[in-house]
């Protein structure tokens, strides 16, 4: 059983093609792992009946020789993707009971390629958070060891997506990243997390947080697996006017390409106050690994980096306040009855939204209100342009940028949740890529002194995910990171 859990997606795919294993066997192993790791609170809605049918279909397709690229591979989905007739809550009380009548484009691409849906995964409410603690279902727990007896945060907002892949209860999973929600939990849980270029994957059918920043992306155990699933997720969608008109690309080839002669930028501004020494040491190591692999290291400057976090925390809440206006007690999920229509809106929204979501709506409506719009929202948009231009200039001199993913390793649950500013600081290295629309990947690269995973982040110019995969693969090879969470379903080594 545990042998099946040890396989990467690429290995499982090859064994399925050779008929050494069946999709149903693989699903059974994952079902067992889901039961064993229930305490991690990763799945909010398991969909095992659907999974069974999908696995049977995948086995038929293998027998007939027409199996899609993901056929039989068990995949978990962040509960932010609308899944037809399957409860989709964004981990919010206000969406409890919402059964979408449609399927998001990205998930539909995955099922058409034969992927097997294990269930919906835990996340922060409406993807707002960095620890998965704002979820109505309670936090997803990090499968790596506890500290002083306290469970660690899986990171957020896609905590369940990262934790399940690390714990072996999903072979791969889907998440979304508005300001770091794929890369930060990937780093905390020791898995690979890719945030694609804005416009690369369709946002259609994904519960919107901040529409100019949101992107879907995969969590996997290896870079090779990331390329495998990303090739299926990406692509133009006429239903999303912001999706890029680019055809199918098979990114698996890019993983193996040589990085000799590539120029790797090291931005001075990412040496922020409060960064753990073990993180800056890892950053130096990453630099050395890439040099050994034949890349050239170039020191660069991204002078407006220091404004990225405040800029993000104006733009993201502003867009969120507008996107979340639709939850009015009439069109979706929950309603609290009251005497008048206005009173019903108020009661429904006060009861249905959690504290962090309400905070964002208040910040957002304030920043957009007449009189403050110019001072906050417009200013933030201008700063966003400067941040984007910093990257454009830097990419004249370098091919890829290397930074740490997070300023610290995973923290204990409860440690930061009462202080929003401390929580927001988690995103310091990840938000610039969203503001500039760039692709970014987090690769597990080492362990902290306490034995917790640490990630390195790579950023590339728009639509250069292939380049990210080649460099990420070089880091992965040299880091020899072993996926060994204490609370995994089986021995993943
Ligand atoms: N932690 C960030 C926030 O709370 C990013 C969230 C995300 O990427 N969805 O806004």
Domain annotation covers residue 307: no
Contacts of residue 465, defined as CB under 8 A and 6 or more positions apart, other chains included, come to: 194, 196, 197, 200, 230, 234, 251, 254, 439, 441
What does the DSSP assignment read for 345-384? HHHHHHHHS-HHHHHHHHHHHHHHSTTTIIIIIIHHHHHH
Residue in 22, 23, 78, 470 annotated catalytic: 78
Secondary element (H or E) of residue 175: strand 172-177
> How many whole angstroms separate alpha carbon 360 and alpha carbon 316?
8
Confidence (pLDDT) at 492: 54
Residues with CB under 6 A from ligand 1: 127-130, 157, 177-181, 209, 316, 427
**188 Cα: distance to centroid of ligand 1 (angstroms):** 15
Domain count of the fold of the chain: 1
Atom number in ligand 1 closest to CA 313 = 10
Q: Calculate helix-pair angle for 465-479, 223-233, nearest 10 degrees.
A: 160
- C-alpha dihedral sign at 95, 98, 100, 101: negative
| Helix, strand, coil shares, percent, the chain, to 5 | 45, 15, 40
Contact by Cβ (8 Å): 132, 160: yes
CA 207 to chain CA centroid, nearest Å: 14
Contacts of residue 396, defined as CB under 8 A and 6 or more positions apart, other chains included, come to: none
**445 Cα: distance to centroid of ligand 1 (angstroms):** 23
Say whether pLDDT at 37 is over 80. yes
> How many whole angstroms separate alpha carbon 406 and alpha carbon 423?
12
Domain annotation covers residue 80: yes
Of 65, 74, 75, 73, nearest to 17 by C-alpha is 65
Q: Which residue's C-alpha comes closest to atom 10 of ligand 1?
A: 128
The pLDDT tens digits for 182-206 are: 999 999 999 999 999 999 999 999 9
Residue in 92, 104, 153, 157 annotated catalytic: 157
**182 Cα: distance to centroid of ligand 1 (angstroms):** 9
Contact by Cβ (8 Å): 201, 175: no
Atom number in ligand 1 closest to CA 182 = 8
For the record, the structure tokens of 391 come out as: 């990257």
Confidence (pLDDT) at 332: 84
Secondary element (H or E) of residue 280: helix 277-292
427, 433, 437, 442: residue to mutate for ligand 1 pocket, most atoms within 8 A of CB: 427
Judge residue 71's burial from the number of C-beta atoms within 10 Å of its C-beta, 0-12 exposed, 13-18 middle, 19 or more buried: buried
Looking at per-residue pLDDT, the higher value among 272 and 259 belongs to 259
The pLDDT tens digits for 370-385 are: 999 999 999 999 999 9
What percent of the chain is predicted at pLDDT more than 90?
91
Nearest-Å Rg of the Cα atoms of the chain is: 21
- C-alpha dihedral sign at 370, 371, 376, 378: positive
Confidence (pLDDT) at 143: 97
For the record, the structure tokens of 317 come out as: 């809440």
Say whether pLDDT at 352 is over 50. yes
Confidence of residue 2 (pLDDT cuts 50, 70, 90): low
Contacts of residue 409, defined as CB under 8 A and 6 or more positions apart, other chains included, come to: 188, 276, 278, 279, 448, 450, 452, 453, 454
Domain annotation covers residue 415: yes
Hey, which bits of 221-336 come out as E strands? 263-267, 296-300
Residue in 181, 231, 243, 321 annotated catalytic: 181
Q: Which residue's C-alpha comes closest to atom 4 of ligand 1?
A: 129
Residue 488 exposure: Cα atoms within 13 Å on the Cβ side: 22
**433 Cα: distance to centroid of ligand 1 (angstroms):** 12
Domain annotation covers residue 13: yes
Confidence of residue 491 (pLDDT cuts 50, 70, 90): low
80, 125, 131, 156: residue to mutate for ligand 1 pocket, most atoms within 8 A of CB: 156
For the record, the structure tokens of 435 come out as: 């503001």
pTM to 2 decimal places: 0.97
**82 Cα: distance to centroid of ligand 1 (angstroms):** 19
**172 Cα: distance to centroid of ligand 1 (angstroms):** 21
Range of the domain at 29: 2-264+396-492
Q: Which residue's C-alpha comes closest to atom 5 of ligand 1?
A: 179
Atom number in ligand 1 closest to CA 312 = 10
Mean residue pLDDT of the chain comes to 96
Domain annotation covers residue 373: no
Contacts of residue 9, defined as CB under 8 A and 6 or more positions apart, other chains included, come to: 70, 73, 171, 172, 220, 221, 222, 225, 228, 229
Q: What is the dihedral of CA 140, 472, 438, 168, to 10 degrees?
A: -20
Residue 88 exposure: Cα atoms within 13 Å on the Cβ side: 23
Domain annotation covers residue 155: yes
The pLDDT tens digits for 404-463 are: 999 999 999 999 888 888 899 899 999 999 999 999 999 999 999 999 999 999 999 999
Look up the CATH number of the domain holding residue 196. Answer: 3.90.1300.10
Atom number in ligand 1 closest to CA 177 = 8
> How many whole angstroms separate alpha carbon 331 and alpha carbon 97?
12
The pLDDT tens digits for 141-180 are: 999 988 888 999 999 999 999 999 999 999 999 999 999 9
What percent of the chain is predicted at pLDDT more than 70?
99
Contacts of residue 92, defined as CB under 8 A and 6 or more positions apart, other chains included, come to: 125, 126, 136, 352, 353, 354, 357
Domain annotation covers residue 27: yes
Say whether pLDDT at 276 is over 50. yes
Has 78 been annotated as catalytic?
yes
CA 73 to chain CA centroid, nearest Å: 19
Atom number in ligand 1 closest to CA 180 = 8
Say whether pLDDT at 493 is over 50. no
Confidence (pLDDT) at 146: 84
The pLDDT tens digits for 58-101 are: 999 999 999 999 999 999 999 999 999 999 999 999 999 999 99
**131 Cα: distance to centroid of ligand 1 (angstroms):** 10
Q: How far is CA 56 from CA 25, 53, 103, 116, in A?
A: 10, 5, 21, 10
Confidence (pLDDT) at 333: 80
Confidence of residue 104 (pLDDT cuts 50, 70, 90): very high
Secondary structure of 235-265 as H, E, C letters: CCCCCCCCCCCCCCCCCHHHHHCCCCCCEEE
Q: Determine the longest span between alpha carbons in the chain, in angstroms.
A: 70
**104 Cα: distance to centroid of ligand 1 (angstroms):** 20
Contact by Cβ (8 Å): 126, 137: no
Domain annotation covers residue 471: yes
Say whether pLDDT at 115 is over 90. yes
> How many whole angstroms separate alpha carbon 268 and alpha carbon 181?
24
Atom number in ligand 1 closest to CA 130 = 1
């Amino acid at each position: 059983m545990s042998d099946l859990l040890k396989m990467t997606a690429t290995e499982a795919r090859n064994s399925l093609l050779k008929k050494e294993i069946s999709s149903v066997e693989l699903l059974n192993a994952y079902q067992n792992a889901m039961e064993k790791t229930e305490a991690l609170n990763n799945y909010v809605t398991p969909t095992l009946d659907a999974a069974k049918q999908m696995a049977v279909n995948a086995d038929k397709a293998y027998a007939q020789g027409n199996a899609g690229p993901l056929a039989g591979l068990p995949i978990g989905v962040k509960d932010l993707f609308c899944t037809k007739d399957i409860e989709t809550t964004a981990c919010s009380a206000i969406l409890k009971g919402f059964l979408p009548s449609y399927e998001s484009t990205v998930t539909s691409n995955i099922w058409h390629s034969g992927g097997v849906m294990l269930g919906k995964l835990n996340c922060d409410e409406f993807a707002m958070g960095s620890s998965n603690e704002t979820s109505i279902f309670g936090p997803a727990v990090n499968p790596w060891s506890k500290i002083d007896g306290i469970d660690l945060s899986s990171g957020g907002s896609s905590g369940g997506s990262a934790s399940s892949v690390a714990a072996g209860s999903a072979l791969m999973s889907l998440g979304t990243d508005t300001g770091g929600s794929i890369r930060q939990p990937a780093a905390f849980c020791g898995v690979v997390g890719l945030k694609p270029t804005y416009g690369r994957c369709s946002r259609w059918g994904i519960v919107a947080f901040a529409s100019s920043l949101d992107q879907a992306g995969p969590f996997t155990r290896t870079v090779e697996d990331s390329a495998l699933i990303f090739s299926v997720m990406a692509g133009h969608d006429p239903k999303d006017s912001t999706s890029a008109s680019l055809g199918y690309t098979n990114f698996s080839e890019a993983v193996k390409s040589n990085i000799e002669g590539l120029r790797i930028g090291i931005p001075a501004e990412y040496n922020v106050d409060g960064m753990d020494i073990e993180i800056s040491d890892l950053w130096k190591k990453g630099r050395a690994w890439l040099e050994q692999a034949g890349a050239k290291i170039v020191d660069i400057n991204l002078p407006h980096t220091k404004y990225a976090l405040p800029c993000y925390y104006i733009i993201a809440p502003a867009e969120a306040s507008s996107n979340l206006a639709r939850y009015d007690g009439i069109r979706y999920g929950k309603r609290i009855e009251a005497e008048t229509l206005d009173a019903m809106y108020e009661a429904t929204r006060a009861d249905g939204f959690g504290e962090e979501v309400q905070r964002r709506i208040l910040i957002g409506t304030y920043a957009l209100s007449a009189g403050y719009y110019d001072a906050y929202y417009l200013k933030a948009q201008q700063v966003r342009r400067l941040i984007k231009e910093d990257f454009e200039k830097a990419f004249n001199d370098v091919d890829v940028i290397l930074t740490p993913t997070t300023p610290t390793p995973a923290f204990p649950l409860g440690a930061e949740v009462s202080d929003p500013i401390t929580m927001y600081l988690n995103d310091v290295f990840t938000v610039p890529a969203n503001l500039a629309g760039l692709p970014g990947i987090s690769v597990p690269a080492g362990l902290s002194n306490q034995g917790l995973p640490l990630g390195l982040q790579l950023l590339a110019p728009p639509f250069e995910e292939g380049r990210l995969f080649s460099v990420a693969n070089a880091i992965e090879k040299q880091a020899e990171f072993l996926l060994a969470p204490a609370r995994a379903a089986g021995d993943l080594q």
